A and B are shown apart, each in its own frame.
Chain A
Amino acid sequence: MNNILILIILCAIVTFIPRLIPAIFVNKLDFGPKSTKFLNLLPYTALTALICPGVLTVDTQIWYVGLVGAIVAGTLSWKKVPLGAIVIITVIALIIFYTIIDILHII
């Protein structure tokens, strides 16, 4: 079996078990207020750690491409544009951005 298959199987197991336990033991789980708060903060800190500095590696050659995308998405989100539209507009913005870079390069 190749490494990638092993990786997928292991990732599937470590992702599914935390999902499964509450489904079976839902009436037996109880968290203190501090642990609940910690677990609730994980999505925010995990998202942040994923964005910063990962977004700068969206394009491995031109680091600021990701930054431009993040600024576009952030601005749209600030203006309360719906989630799906933010993703689509940001992708289109980057296509335009790449095209502009290409044209400048040719000139």
Chain B
Amino acid sequence: MERFYIKTKMDKFLYGVKKGFPIVFGYIPMGIGYSAIAIKAGLNPFETVGMSIFVYAGAGQIMAVSMLAQGATIINIVLTSFVINFRYFIMNTVVFNKVTESNTKLNILSSHFVVDECFALFSLMEESSIWTYLGVSVIPYLSWVLGAAIGVFVLNLLPVIVTNSFNISLYALFVAILIPNLKKSKTITITVIITGILNFILQYFLSNWSLIVATIIGAIIGTYIVDDKDLNLEVEKELLNKKKRGEDIYE
């Protein structure tokens, strides 16, 4: 493969855009699927697109509007969103530990754009410039918002069978992200099965709260049974070690 020689900020940004582009094909249908559920839950078109702009959390948003449709309280939905979206904390910790050519202003500007897919892409990439990260991360953001906007306009024109079928797109993406990891690791598979069964049982006792409880208990059980090497912790460990070594030098 011919090696692309990266020089200017623009080159770095465009390199990121190129790397992040395949995410568009997942995020636009998923955005349309989200719109379908949001409109059913009673959001108007502005609220539907606004939520995608200001919250920007794929699974978290779908869950929030689904819970709303099921009549959950606001406090319950907000707390669940907090727990489900808290993973962005660790993702950004990894991203901003890796990022180069950045400063606090640029960090803050790009902090809103982290999602599972661009995190995975960037953390495994050789290039580490903030401009590349912005390229990788802004593409999913725009396609998620665009998907929601398309959904708002198109949903009324589409037959019910098609809009019903869009509801599966997010679950298809969840399954598609999960399966390759399960294929790699038996211990993660066991954790996932335990979590699934746990949530299935807990929902009868805790209804909407079961999602948070099962997620946390599942992850706690996982820390005891999952092999470190199955978790792709190497990249993060190395980055943290690098950071630590860097700090040692200055101490």
Contacts and interface: CB of A to CB of B under 8 A. Distances in A.
A88 interface: yes
Interface in B37-73: 42-44, 47, 50-51, 54-57, 59-64, 66, 68
Contact of A39 (B24, B90, B181): B90
Nearest to B200: A53
A77 B180 CA distance: 7
Interface stretch (B6-14, B148-156, B191-199): B191-199
Contact of B215 (A36, A45, A77, A82): A45
Main secondary structure of the interface of B (DSSP, over half): helix
B203 A38 contact: no
Interface in A22-52: 22-24, 26-27, 29-31, 33-34, 36-52
Contact of A3 (B64, B74, B247): B74
Interface string A1-31: 0011111111110111011111110110111
Interface residues of A, number: 76
Contacts of A3: 74
Nearest to A40: B231
Contact of A18 (B43, B88, B192, B231): B88
A90 to B, nearest CB: 4
A55 to B, nearest CB: 5
Given A37-B226, A47-B178, A4 B172 contact: no
A42 B231 CA distance: 11
> For this complex, into which size category does the number of interface residues on chain B fall?
35 or more
Interface string B76-94: 0111011111111110110
Main secondary structure of the interface of A (DSSP, over half): helix
B218 A41 contact: yes
Contact of B89 (A4, A18, A47, A74): A18
Interface string A59-90: 10000011001101110111010111111101
B20 to A, nearest CB: 12
A53 B89 contact: no
B128 interface: no
A23 B111 contact: yes
Nearest to B219: A41
Given A7-B68, A91-B29, A38 B223 contact: yes
Contact of A19 (B22, B61, B92, B117): B92
Given A23-B96, A38-B219, A45 B195 contact: yes
Contacts of A42: 86-87, 90, 215, 219
12 contacts: A8-B50, A15-B55, A26-B97, A38-B222, A48-B196, A49-B218, A53-B199, A54-B66, A80-B180, A87-B25, A91-B165, A98-B165
Interface of B: 22-26, 29-30, 42-44, 47, 50-51, 54-57, 59-64, 66, 68, 74, 77-79, 81-90, 92-93, 95-97, 104, 107-108, 110-112, 114, 116-117, 161-162, 164-169, 171-181, 183, 188, 191-192, 195-196, 199-200, 203, 210-211, 214-216, 218-220, 222-223, 226, 228, 231-233, 236, 240, 243, 247
